[in-house]
């Protein structure tokens, strides 16, 4: 025995109601983690393998399966929580950095939940979205700081200013960057179809663009990250826009790392690296060692694509986000994406996921304010992401200064993801975070694309209703409109940063 710690208490306990169970074995078929097996006339359970992905529960025809989290108590202690103790046992055993899947689990207050939205009453009546259109269409990219007009030979006035390319989005909800490799091709195709259907866009992540996505390329934002996986001129030309990934909310300041096990034949072709090799994305772009170099990378991409496509840059929300955004806004980019510290990930070191970065709410508010202060707000659109959970979050993010949002985890949940956080195992029974063909097959793009489109459609309807109730008939009038927010139980310092009044004021 290499350690004296023994086994850890079970995380989950799975039970079967033997009265209900008809031994159809769907649980055995569905569980890719191997919780269930048949032994003679009984279905046996190994709860230790359970991830609480709910696949068995979802597909049990008799509701016979029940799952309990943390069935074994530790001595309760407010300082030495279960999580801190178990991390110590893990590291005492291994001596390694702990990696974890999905976003932060730190139990910190969520600012979105302490922001209340406004509605009209008597002094100004609400508008009725049924009758009066509420315009959600928005354009992402540079807006000119002034317009020059000229009279053409026919005597008509026409625009003389050359406009920079913008992305036209029908709803301010876009699908964020999740790479092929981190998620399955069927998951990507499902989201791409949903993006096409709803008039929005989807990010490729740093995994190249699989040929199966070419039919949706005019809805794809192709990513250029520090590993440059899958990046060539063909890739850049296919995308509707190009996004340079400088940072990620779940793990600010560090790179990415797709383990060799996940680099299957098809993934290797799309990333353009050998099968089974680690795909390592360094922490910095090694051709960007300063803010002047960022401008050079942005312009290299614009030159390569003849200035026809918007170029975005994504940064993680950290202490000096406002200054970072203002610097990025001067680098010729068309939009800045800010990823809050609760942002999702397939895998991130636990210590980064739970401790590094700042919330998206404050990052977007301070960035918007700084850009306005410096007279740069028209130079870039702001895209907020990292824990956008519902339509209200979208409205609040826009009122704090965003132009649009990216969703990630919410879109995965729309395809079945139960946020179990075991993406790194590559065994996702929902066919999302896996490359195993039999599991990927479970996710039917015809079905899943409809679910993602439904979610975007539903949120769009809710956003329309919320705006109508507030008497706002276009997204431009909501953007940065902090007067339509009030802070509930937020301290004065935070209200000041957000530039939002307290409730009742």
How many angstroms separate the CA atoms of 355 and 351, rounded? 6
Considering the complex, state which of residue 142 and residue 369 has its C-beta at the smaller distance from another protein: 142
Q: Candidates 304, 318, 494, 495: give the one binding another protein (CB under 8 A).
A: 304
Specify whether the CB–CB gap between 367 and 339 falls below 8 A: no
Nearer to another protein among residue 101 and residue 487 (C-beta): 101
| From candidates 277, 488, 491, 502, binder to another protein by CB under 8 A | 277
Which of 90, 166, 454, 477 lies at the binding interface for another protein (CB under 8 A)? 90
Taking the least distance from each CB to another protein, the nearer of 271 and 486 is: 271
Q: How many CB atoms lie within 10 A of CB 131?
A: 7
Cβ(75)–Cβ(63) below 8 Å: no
- 312 neighbors 282 (Cβ within 8 angstroms): no
Please say which residue, 113 or 237, places its beta carbon nearer to another protein: 237
Of 97 and 147, nearer to another protein (C-beta) is 97
Q: How far is the CB of 35 from another protein (least distance, A)?
A: 17
Residue nearer to another protein on the CB measure, 112 or 235: 235
Q: Which of residues 154, 158, 303, 446 is near another protein by CB under 8 A?
A: 303
Calculate ∠ Cα 51-266-53, nearest 5°.
Answer: 10
Three-state secondary-structure class, residue 90: helix
Pairing of strands 311-316, 241-245: parallel
Q: Helix 360-373 vs helix 321-329: angle between axes, to the nearest 10 degrees? A: 50
Binding mask 213-242 for another protein (x = CB under 8 A): --------------xx--xxxx-x------
Tokens of 445: 């793009």
The site map against another protein for 363-402 (x = CB under 8 A) is ----------------------------------------
Q: Which stretch binds another protein (CB under 8 A): 44-52, 238-246, 270-278, 395-403?
A: 270-278
Size of the site for another protein (CB under 8 A): 46
- Angle CA 14–19–23, to nearest 5: 70
Among 186, 223, 268, 387, binds another protein (CB under 8 A): 268
Shortest distance in whole angstroms from residue 145 CB to another protein: 20
Contact call for residue 282 and another protein (CB under 8 A)? yes
Looking only at the bridges linking them, the beta strands covering 12-16 and 65-69 are: antiparallel
Per CB under 8 A, does 272 bind another protein?
A: yes
Neighbours of 314 (CB within 10 A): 26
Q: Dump the DSSP string for 366-411.
A: HHHHHHHHTT-GGG-EEEEES---SHHHHHHHHHTT-SEEEESHHH
CA 206 to mean position of chain CA atoms: 14
Residue 100 within binding range of another protein, rule CB under 8 A: yes
Tokens of 195: 């993006």
Dihedral sign, CA of 486, 492, 495, 501?
positive
Of 201 and 424, nearer to another protein (C-beta) is 424
User: Residue 52 and residue 57: Cα distance in Å, rounded?
Assistant: 9
Residue pair 315/341 in contact (Cβ under 8 Å)? The answer is: no
* 21, 264, 307, 494: which one binds another protein (CB under 8 A): 307
- Compute the distance between CA of residue 350 and CA of residue 70 in angstroms, rounded to an integer: 20
Comparison of 261 and 491: residue with beta carbon closer to another protein: 261
Give which of 470, 483, 388 is closest to 112, Cα–Cα.
Answer: 388
Region near another protein per CB under 8 A, out of 72-80, 83-91, 176-184, 368-376: 83-91
Enumerate residues 240-259 that contact another protein by CB under 8 A.
257, 259
101 binds another protein per the rule CB under 8 A: yes
Alpha-carbon distance 353 to 254, whole Å?
11
Q: Which residues in the 333-362 window bind another protein by CB under 8 A?
A: 349-350
Q: Which of 421, 445, 468, 480 binds another protein (CB under 8 A)?
A: 421
The binder of another protein chosen from 41, 79, 96, 438 (CB under 8 A):
96
- For 16-25, b where at least 16 C-beta lie within 10 A, e where not — what string? beeeebeeee
Our finding on whether 52 is near another protein (CB under 8 A) is no
- CB under 8 A: which stretch of 163-171, 179-187, 297-305, 321-329 binds another protein? 297-305
Please report, in angstroms and rounded to a whole number, the separation of the first and last CA atoms in the chain: 64
Shortest distance in whole angstroms from residue 135 CB to another protein = 35
Rule CB under 8 A: say whether 81 interacts with another protein: no
| Identified binder of another protein from the candidate list 22, 97, 119, 458, rule CB under 8 A | 97
Tokens 């974890």, residue located: 100
Give the residue carrying structure tokens 């597909």. Answer: 59
Say if CB 182 and CB 205 are below 8 A apart. yes
Minimum CB–partner distance for residue 293 and another protein (Å): 8
- The verdict on 424 binding another protein (CB under 8 A) reads yes
Distance CA 196, CA 101 (A): 29
Residue 164 engages another protein in binding (rule: CB under 8 A): no
Residue 311 C-beta: closest distance to another protein, Å:
13
By CB under 8 A, name the binding residues for another protein. Answer: 87, 90-91, 93-94, 96-101, 227-228, 231-234, 236, 257, 259-260, 268-269, 272-274, 276-278, 280, 282, 286-287, 296, 299-300, 303-307, 349-350, 421, 424-425
């Amino acid at each position: 025995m290499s350690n004296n710690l023994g086994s850890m208490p079970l995380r989950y306990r799975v039970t079967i109601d033997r009265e209900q169970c008809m031994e159809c074995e769907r649980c055995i078929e569905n569980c890719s983690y191997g919780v269930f097996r048949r032994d003679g006339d009984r279905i046996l359970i190994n709860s230790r393998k359970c991830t609480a992905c709910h696949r068995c529960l979802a597909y049990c025809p008799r509701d016979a399966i029940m799952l309990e989290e943390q069935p074994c108590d530790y001595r309760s202690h407010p300082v030495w929580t279960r999580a801190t103790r178990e991390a110590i046992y893990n590291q005492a055993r291994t001596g390694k950095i702990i990696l974890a899947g999905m976003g932060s689990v730190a139990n910190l207050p969520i600012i979105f939940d302490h922001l209340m939205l406004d509605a009209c009453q008597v002094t100004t009546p609400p508008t009725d979205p049924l009758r009066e259109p509420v315009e959600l269409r928005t354009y992402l990219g540079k807006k000119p700081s002034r317009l020059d007009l000229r009279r053409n030979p026919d005597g008509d006035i026409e625009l003389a200013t050359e406009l920079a390319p913008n992305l036209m989005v029908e709803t301010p909800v876009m699908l964020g960057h999740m790479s092929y490799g981190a998620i399955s091709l069927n998951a990507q195709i499902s989201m791409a179809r949903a993006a096409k259907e709803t008039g929005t866009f989807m990010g490729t992540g740093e995994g190249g663009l699989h040929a199966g996505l070419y039919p949706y390329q005019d809805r794809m934002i192709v990513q250029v990250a520090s590993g440059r996986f899958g990046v060539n001129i063909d890739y850049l030309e296919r995308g509707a826009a190009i996004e340079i990934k400088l940072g990620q909310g779940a793990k600010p300041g560090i790179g990415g790392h797709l383990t060799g096990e996940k680099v299957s034949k098809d993934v290797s072709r799309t990333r353009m690296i050998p099968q089974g090799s680690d795909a390592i994305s360094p922490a910095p772009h090694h051709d960007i060692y300063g803010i002047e170099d960022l401008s050079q990378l942005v312009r290299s991409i614009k030159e390569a694509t003849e200035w026809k496509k918007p170029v975005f840059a994504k940064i993680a929300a950290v202490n000096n986000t406002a200054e970072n955004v203002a610097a990025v806004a001067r680098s010729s980019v068309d939009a800045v994406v800010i990823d809050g510290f609760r942002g999702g990930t397939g895998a991130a070191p636990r210590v980064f996921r739970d401790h590094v970065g700042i919330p998206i709410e404050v990052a977007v508010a301070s960035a918007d304010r700084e850009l306005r202060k410096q007279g740069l707000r028209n130079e870039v659109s702001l895209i907020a992401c990292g824990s956008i959970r519902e339509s209200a979050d979208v409205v609040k993010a826009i009122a704090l200064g965003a132009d649009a949002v990216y969703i990630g985890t919410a879109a995965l949940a729309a395809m079945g993801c139960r946020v179990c956080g075991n993406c790194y195992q590559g065994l996702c029974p929902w066919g999302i975070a896996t490359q195993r063909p039999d599991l990927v097959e479970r996710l039917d793009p015809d079905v899943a694309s409809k679910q993602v489109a439904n979610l975007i459609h539903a949120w769009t309807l809710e956003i329309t209703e919320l705006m109508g109730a507030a008497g706002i008939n276009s997204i431009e009038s909501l953007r940065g409109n902090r007067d339509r927010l009030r802070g509930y139980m937020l301290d004065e310092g935070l209200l000041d940063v957000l530039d939002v009044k307290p409730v009742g004021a």
